[in-house]
Chains A and B, each alone.
Chain A
Amino acid sequence: AQSVTQPDIHITVSEGASLELRCNYSYGATPYLFWYVQSPGQGLQLLLKYFSGDTLVQGIKGFEAEFKRSQSSFNLRKPSVHWSDAAEYFCAVGEYSSASKIIFGSGTRLSIRP
């Protein structure tokens, strides 16, 4: 069965520092991968997604993620974080058939140090 692991429950980085959030997946075929962000009290917003092609995916708000099949990873990166990036980040893998669904990881909470 498909699964997603986000090993870091909570990460704190300084404003202006670089960021990498880890995500590992388990999926038998080529995965469809997503990163979503949830700001406090809000719904989830898609940051970026990977379906095929270039393994380095650019998203909104300056985020990018790289699909590495050999490592079963899809880590999210940002070169310089802003205080407004403080939020919960969810990695997800898509299970696609006639009844498609997304399996979410447990999330990583990002705090920004002034």
Chain B
Amino acid sequence: DTAVSQTPKYLVTQMGNDKSIKCEQNLGHDTMYWYKQDSKKFLKIMFSYNNKELIINETVPNRFSPKSPDKAHLNLHINSLELGDSAVYFCASSQSPSTDTQYFGPGTRLTVL
């Protein structure tokens, strides 16, 4: 029944490792997003895909690579993790990249040691 799901919910890893976060939506939406929420709760968009095509790529280090195998999935792979990558990462989806409501997943708390 979950509309937007993310795995894992928690991720603890060492600096320099590579990790992935998966996101799936069962709403039939065309557009998906990744957001980063820092320790001060500031929420900022990272990427957006529409119909599996990248449409937003904010100034994110190229260690972050999103991949959308199909419209229902948007995964986030992070190479060479750094301490500053520690944050909560939220996936979201909307019907289209316009004025539609965005539906958020529960978040993945990433801690880099």
Instruction: Contact check, B90 vs A43: say whether CB atoms are below 8 A apart.
Output: yes
What is the CA–CA distance of A94 and B56 in the complex, to the nearest angstrom?
Answer: 14
Known interface pairs A88-B41, A106-B42, A107-B41. Does A44 touch B99 (Cβ–Cβ under 8 Å)?
no
B residues less than 8 Å from A49 (CB atoms): 101
Instruction: List B residues 1-23 near A (Cβ within 8 Å).
Output: 4
Separation of A38 and B33 alpha carbons in the complex (Å) = 17
Tally of A-B residue pairs with Cβ under 8 A? 54
Query: How near does chain A come to B25, taking the closest CB pair, in angstroms?
Result: 12
- Closest chain-B Cβ to A3's Cβ sits at a distance in Å of 12
Roughly how many angstroms separate A18 CA and B58 CA in the complex, as a whole number?
A: 38
Residue ID in chain B nearest A92 by CB atoms: B43
**B42: A residues at CB distance < 8 A:** 104, 106-107
